[in-house]
Structure 1
Amino acid sequence: MTPGRGSWPADLLAGQVAVVTGGASGLGRATALRLASAGVSAVVVADLREEPREGGDPTTQALADLGVSSVFVPCDVTSPASIEEAVTAADAFGGVTIMVPAAGILRMEDVLEVSEADYDAMMDVNVKGTFFSCQAAARSMVAGDREGAIVTISSVGGVLGSASMPTYNISKGAVRMLTYSLAASLGPRGIRVNAVHPGVIETAMTRQDTRLADEPGTSVPLGRLGVPNDVADAIVYLASPLAAYTTGTSLFVDGGSHSSKAGRDFTAGG
Structure 2
Amino acid sequence: MAGDLLDGEVAVVTGAASGIGREIALAYADEGADVVVADLQEEPREGGDPTHDRIEDETDRTARFVECDVTDTDDLAAAVSAADDLGGVDVMVNNAGIFRSQEFLDVTEDDYDQLMDVNVKGVFFGAQAAAKRMVEDDGGVVINMSSVAGLAGSASFVTYCASKGAVRLLTYSLAAELGPEGVRVNAIHPGLIDTAMTTEDVPILGTEAGEGYMQTIPSRRFGQPEDVADAALYLASDMADYVNGESLVVDGGMTNTN
- Shared topology, TM-score over 0.5? yes
In structure 2, stretches of 5+ residues that fail to align are none
- Inter-partner Cα distance in structure 2 for 1:213 and 1:203: 9
- Inter-partner Cα distance in structure 2 for 1:202 and 1:157: 16
Cross-structure match for 2:63: 70
Deviation at 1:125, TM superposition (A): 0.1
**Aligned ranges for residues 1-270 of structure 1 at < 5 Å?**
10-40=3-33, 42-64=34-56, 65-143=58-136, 145-214=137-206, 215-216=210-211, 217-261=214-258
Deviation at 1:218, TM superposition (A): 2.9
- Inter-partner Cα distance in structure 1 for 2:205 and 2:130: 32
Cα deviation code 1:133-172 (max 9, x no counterpart): 00000001122x1221111111100011110110000000
Cross-structure match for 1:268: none
Q: Is the 8 A contact 1:203 1:213 kept in 2?
A: no
Deviation at 1:68, TM superposition (A): 1.4
In structure 1, stretches of 5+ residues that fail to align are 1-6, 262-270
When normalised by structure 1's length, the TM-score is 0.92
Matched letter for residue 3 of structure 2: A
Mean CA deviation greater in 199-208 or 123-132: 199-208
- Inter-partner Cα distance in structure 1 for 2:30 and 2:255: 29
Deviation at 1:206, TM superposition (A): 1.4
Give SS of 1:124's match. helix
Give SS of 1:212's match. coil
Cross-structure match for 1:4: none
Give SS of 2:53's match. helix
**Number of residue pairs matched by the alignment:** 252
Deviation at 1:260, TM superposition (A): 2.2
Q: Give me the CA root mean square deviation.
A: 1.0
Deviation at 1:219, TM superposition (A): 2.2
When normalised by structure 2's length, the TM-score is 0.96
Give SS of 1:131's match. helix
Matched letter for residue 213 of structure 1: L
**Runs ≥4 residues deviating over 6 A:** none
Matched letter for residue 119 of structure 1: Y
